[in-house]
Amino acid sequence: MPFEFKRTSNVCDRCKKDVSEVGKLKEFEEQLLCSNCYEKTESEKHLKCPKCKREVGLEKMTEYKNESMCYECKDNVKKKEEKTKVRKKFLKTNWFKWIMIGFATAGFVVSAYFVSITP
């Protein structure tokens, strides 16, 4: 049978300040925290992703291009950027073909116009 005991200490586990400086300590997930650290830890635990609005917490948040988001949103943004790069590369490498297709289409339109107006 495991022993259960309540930890007693005079120091906050997060900021390492004494009880005389910070006041009463509260227990939070096996840690003794002062009221300031307790509020910070609680808010970090319930942090939401600004993109998908899901509650993910501080552990599952990251920054990508100076924007904070969860790892899933980061993966989605990277996939979209990769698709955009592929499209741009296709247009850049095939620009001559697009111009030739445009000239051919214009030629067909002009020739169809002249064929229709001649008796």
Domain-by-domain residue ranges, the chain? 46-117
| Residue 72 CB-density burial (10 A; 0-12 exposed, 13-18 middle, 19+ buried) | middle
pTM: 0.57
The DSSP element (H or E) to which 69 belongs, if any, is: strand 68-70
Give residue-wise pLDDT tens across range 82-117. 999 998 888 788 888 889 999 999 999 998 888 887
Give residue-wise pLDDT tens across range 5-62. 555 667 888 888 888 787 788 887 888 888 888 888 888 888 888 888 888 888 888 8
